[in-house]
Structure 1
Amino acid sequence: MHTDLAAHLAWSLRGGRAHCGVERAFGEVDPDAQGRLIDWFDHSLWQLLEHLRIAQRDLIDYSETPGHVSPPHPDGYWPQRPEPPDEGAYDAALARFLADREELCGLLGERDLLTSFPHAGGPDGEPHTWLRTATIALDHQAYHIGQAVAVRKALGCWAD
């Protein structure tokens, strides 16, 4: 049963049957749109993508490594500037996010999804498991994918 659940979680993290996955939400964005801000939203596509990458990597490291120290919240999870630091940074961040996502999917298949981590627990003492790691990653990914689609529509760089 756990392998079926792990496979389903990995499928979902990769986009499943969702309206839109990370690849579509953040892929093929013209460089001039990657760092543009719109009036009604605080973050650029670059900032959303890099935030997703940083948070996913931190979640993997927190789950896998006792003693892992997360970045300071919230500043350590968001790039300060709306523009990518260089021409290739946006595409590199997307590639790193996808590689880290594959690492997470592999870990889900290798680990017991329901056993509490001895080194990690929530602020209220709730247990942290690989199942919780996957559901946090899914929830976070879905939230920011929706934002990215809205930003792309506002920027005029979304093809339906």
Structure 2
Amino acid sequence: MAQAVNASKNLPSDPRNRETVRPAGNNPQDGNLETPINSSPLVKWFINNLPAYRPGLTPFRRGLEVGMAHGYLLFGPFSKLGPLRDASNANLAGLLGSVGLVVILTACLSLYANSNPSKALASVTVPNPPIDAFTSGESWNNFGSAFLIGGIGGAVTAYFLTGNLGLFQGLLG
């Protein structure tokens, strides 16, 4: 029994554990761990190319890109999996549902912007967060208004593409 307790105390000193998960910057009190996922070059490259972390973008442009992606991707589940999926106006219901959710998300962004959010902290994946992004309530409000415009535009684009799918198939086939 005493050997089992001693073996569990020695678990962190096992060299195999230090190969996979280790404290960031060798500081165990930082509360940030480097894992094979968050410290891999591929994941760092992907995260740093997202609109929220890409350097040189204005908050309005960041919000526009994020909103377009959300509006476009929210349309599908509302139109194809919603309660009106078998109705003749399923695409219109999907458009209205996705626009409604984008409006709700924009209201949540506005509430967050007015709560005096703190500045972004450096992490293992994003060691240098952009200085010009999300630094004030005004930049958050610009992000939120562009998110609304982009989200509605993305949902309308998805609605247009889905409604005219036969036309596009005829052009390509």
Q: Same fold (TM over 0.5)?
A: no
- TM-score, normalised to structure 1, is 0.31
Structure having the higher Rg: 2
